[in-house]
Structures are given as C-alpha cells and as structure tokens.
Amino acid sequence: EDQVTQSPEALRLQEGESSSLNCSYTVSGLRGLFWYRQDPGKGPEFLFTLYSAGEEKEKERLKATLTKKESFLHITAPKPEDSATYLCAVQAPGTYKYIFGTGTRLKVLA
C-alpha cells in the first residue's frame, strides 16, 4: 500500500537552531514528491517538487533533498516566522492524486 510517513509529529526549535524534517514514503514508482507549508486556517503553500533521487532544491532557509526512500526538509537558522505545519506528499504512478503525510508541526521560539 502506498504510504507517506512524516517525523517528528511536532518540533520546537530555538531561533537559529537548525534541524531536519523527515518524510518516508513507500510507493511503487515515484512520479513526484512535494513539500508544502501550511499556516493555521490556511491552505497549503507550495514549497518544492522533487522528482528523482539525489535531487536537491533550496529556497531561503529551506533545503529539500530526496533519496529512493525518503526526503528531508532541512531548515537552517530558522526564524519564528518559519513556524508552521510542513506537509509532504507523493504522486503515485498511474494517478494524479496526492498521498499526504500527517505533517510536522514546527514551532520556532524567539
């Protein structure tokens, strides 16, 4: 069964304390892996798309990487405004549907 698992569920960081969020997936042939940020009461905001193992994407303090089994979202020197829920999703072959993980709730303390 196609599945996406994110860890940790919740993470509290001090401002400037770098860390990584994990997204593990089991899917028979990955078409794409997507990272989104969701603020409370809002729809998810697109961050990155990764298609093949070894691929990396960067945007400001965020960097996403992909292996054959998992993806990491690295947050370097986070700021309080980075506090949000980060969602990972995969697009399985033969379908355009997304399979979402349960998300990581990140809180960055000033």
Partner 1 sequence: GAVVSQHPSWVICKSGTSVKIECRSLDFQATTMFWYRQFPKQSLMLMATSNEGSKATYEQGVEKDKFLINHASLTLSTLTVTSAHPEDSSFYICSAGPSMNTEAFFGQGTRLTVV
In angstroms and rounded to an integer, the radius of gyration of the C-alpha atoms of the chain is 13
State the minimum distance, in angstroms, from the CB of residue 16 to partner 1.
Answer: 27
Could you say whether residue 78 binds partner 1 (CB under 8 A)?
no
* Nearer to partner 1 among residue 57 and residue 61 (C-beta): 57
Longest CA–CA separation in the chain, Å: 45
Cis peptide before 8 (omega within 30 of 0): yes
Q: SS3 for 101?
A: coil
State the minimum distance, in angstroms, from the CB of residue 89 to partner 1.
Answer: 8
Binding footprint of partner 1 on the chain (CB under 8 A): 31-32, 34, 36, 41-46, 49, 87, 96-98, 100-103, 105
